[in-house]
Amino acid sequence: MGLKPPVAGNLTADECARLTGWLADQAGAPVRVLATERLSGGAIQENHRLEIDVAGGAWPGHHDLVLRRDAASAVATSHSRAEEFALLKAAHTAGVTVPTPCVLCTDTRILGVPFFLMHRVGGEARGGRLVREAPDADLVRALGENLARLHTLTPPREELSFLGAPPEDPARAAVAQYRAYLDVLPDPHPAVEWGLAWLAGHAPAPGAIVLCHRDYRTGNLMIEAGKLSATLDWEFAGWSDPLEDIGWFLAKCWRFGRWEQEAGGLGPRDAFLDGYQQASGRRIEPTAVTYWEVMAHVRWTVIALQQAWRHVSGEEPSLELALTAHVVPELEAEILAMTGETP
Amino acid sequence: MRKNPSGPALTAIADATEAAADPAAGNANYVAAMIRNARAIAARQAAAGDGPAQVEAASLKALLGTDGSLADLNRALARAIREGTAPKGTHAHLTAVMRADLSESNPRYLARLDDDA
């Protein structure tokens, strides 16, 4: 990952001892740590595998878990560990396939930063690998059903109050936000402005507002033996139009090169939409989906330009961030093709 | 207009990354592929030289009926698009500029688009 430091080590012996004591208090029974291992993950969060044995109490038996905490070098992120834990619990309650969340610790005396434990889940999430498998209509149907279950969560919800007030008009709010993001960048981007002008001119009337994942796509979905095993990366979750998630998932930029399989490169579009419609009872209009696919490309373009600027400005020199700038012409190609000659 | 970092700046971060790279790291293949990609983009930009920028500036001047630096002309076009006063021919202009950028950043993507068309 560019010039970022190498992966840091395992939990220290002291951390392990404090963690064991804390877990025993929570469980009301002796706890033995059988194994810990640093897992690969982002630069912002650390994931550790944690295998424990609990001798009775509230959680008797053997548990294969993941401990998730902020990395020592983490900067302020969109959602704290406590917030991510609340999102996972809400999603789990709604029947979304996620790693079962277990327990949250906000006492920073234990590991220095808040952390939570969740069940460890197996599978493959890397898009480049998944699109080499045979197209799978059943899988993408299940991904549609899974998303529909998430979208049963509606505001207000006390435990998700950190998400803020739901937007009254998600499409127009997004256009205003992305324009504001562009205004901070020094270079002009007329093709992105073209996309935004089209989005402003074609904005739908506001509809239902639900809990959206806002990064629901191939790459963030763990698949094991052709079945969804976990919905990952809840960093961007928020209240929005359910079509934002649908458009993001179907957008061509998330097909990992297998363009003809329009549901994330994994299977046919119709199967995904059928699964979603059957599970939600909500009828999805194709033109409404197209609108949010344009939005998806514009959003990814703006994020890519922000990432490139982190490198160019000197804030975070990184080849990976630098190269993100050169994905932008591909996204502009799709924006210009989808919008046509009148904005 | 080429996206930043371009040309020498792109080569510089590729060189710095190569100098700092650990060949035994788990992501060594991924890092090597990024370095190759950055150098290939910089090489295509060097081969194209100032030609694309000159064509783009001429197209912008004709479109807007004003003069200025490439960045200023693009700023004026971006403002016009946002204000809803984009001149006729804007989409064709943007498409031509995008194709020039894409032929440097990812010519295989451009070829695939043309095959699908």
Given this model, what pLDDT does residue A7 score? 42
| Over residues A151-176, mean pLDDT | 97
A121 touches A229 (CB < 8 A): yes
Interface test with B, best of A179, A259, A326, A338 (most B CBs within 10 A): A326
B101 and chain A: CB distance < 8 Å anywhere? yes
pLDDT band at A80 (very low <50, low <70, confident <90, very high): confident
Residues 37-66 of B with CB under 8 A from A: 37-38, 41
Q: Is a pLDDT exceeding 60 seen at residue A73?
A: no
Among A105-109, A175-179, B36-40, the least confident range = A105-109
Write the single-letter amino acid at A183. D
| Over residues B13-23, mean pLDDT | 96
| Over residues A190-201, mean pLDDT | 98
Domain positions in chain B are 7-48, 51-116
CA distance A292 to chain B (A): 19
Nearest CA in chain A to B107: A330
Among A62-76, A105-119, A166-180, the least confident range = A62-76
Q: Is a pLDDT exceeding 80 seen at residue B87?
A: yes
| Over residues A235-247, mean pLDDT | 96
| Over residues B65-84, mean pLDDT | 97
Residue of A7, A188, A322 with shortest CB distance to B71: A188
- Of A303, A305, A298, the C-alpha closest to A326 is A305
Nearest CA in chain A to B20: A3
Q: Is a pLDDT exceeding 90 seen at residue A255?
A: yes
Q: Is a pLDDT exceeding 90 seen at residue A78?
A: no
Task: With CB atoms and an 8 Å threshold, state whether B5 touches A40.
Answer: no
Q: Is a pLDDT exceeding 90 seen at residue B47?
A: yes
| Domain made up of A13-119: CATH architecture | 2-Layer Sandwich (3.30)
A68-82 exposure pattern, b = at least 16 Cβ within 10 A, e = fewer: bbbbeeeeeeebebe
Given this model, what pLDDT does residue B74 score? 98
B28 phi-psi bin (left φ>0, alpha ψ -120 to 50, beta other): alpha
pLDDT band at A9 (very low <50, low <70, confident <90, very high): low
Q: Is a pLDDT exceeding 80 seen at residue A188?
A: yes
Task: With CB atoms and an 8 Å threshold, state whether B38 touches A329.
Answer: no
Residues 143-172 of A with CB under 8 A from B: none
Residue of A7, A194, A337 with shortest CB distance to B81: A194
B63 touches B86 (CB < 8 A): no
Domain positions in chain A are 13-119, 127-339
pLDDT digits (tens, 9 = 90+) for A131-146: 999 999 999 999 999 9
Write the single-letter amino acid at A109. R
Given this model, what pLDDT does residue A1 score? 34
Residue of B4, B25, B82 with shortest CB distance to A193: B82
B23 and chain A: CB distance < 8 Å anywhere? no
Nearest CA in chain A to B90: A341
Given this model, what pLDDT does residue A19 score? 96
Residue of B13, B78, B113 with shortest CB distance to A189: B78
pLDDT above 70 coverage of chain A, percent: 94
A311 and chain B: CB distance < 8 Å anywhere? yes
Task: With CB atoms and an 8 Å threshold, state whether B86 touches A319.
Answer: no
Q: Can you tell me the distance from the alpha carbon of A208 to that of A49, in angstroms, rounded to the nearest whole number?
A: 39
Given this model, what pLDDT does residue A6 score? 36
Give the number of other CB atoms < 10 A from CB of residue A27: 19
| Over residues A216-223, mean pLDDT | 97
| Over residues B77-96, mean pLDDT | 98
> What is the ipTM metric for this complex?
0.98
Residue of B34, B92, B102 with shortest CB distance to A329: B102
Model confidence, pTM: 0.93
Given this model, what pLDDT does residue A48 score? 93
Q: Is a pLDDT exceeding 80 seen at residue A71?
A: no
CA distances from A47 to A40, A91, A196, A274, A323 (A): 7, 20, 37, 35, 26
Given this model, what pLDDT does residue A179 score? 98
| Over residues A310-337, mean pLDDT | 97
Given this model, what pLDDT does residue B26 score? 82
Q: Mean of the per-residue pLDDT values for chain A?
A: 93
pLDDT digits (tens, 9 = 90+) for A269-287: 999 999 999 999 999 999 9
Given this model, what pLDDT does residue A5 score? 38
Task: With CB atoms and an 8 Å threshold, state whether B31 touches A319.
Answer: yes
Given this model, what pLDDT does residue A235 score? 87
Task: With CB atoms and an 8 Å threshold, state whether A190 touches B74.
Answer: yes
Q: Is a pLDDT exceeding 90 seen at residue A3?
A: no
A118 and chain B: CB distance < 8 Å anywhere? no
Among A24-28, A292-296, B24-28, the least confident range = B24-28
Give me the CATH topology for the region A127-339.
Aminoglycoside 3'-phosphotransferase; Chain: A, domain 2 (3.90.1200)
Q: Can you tell me the distance from the alpha carbon of A203 to that of A167, in angstroms, rounded to the nearest whole number?
A: 14
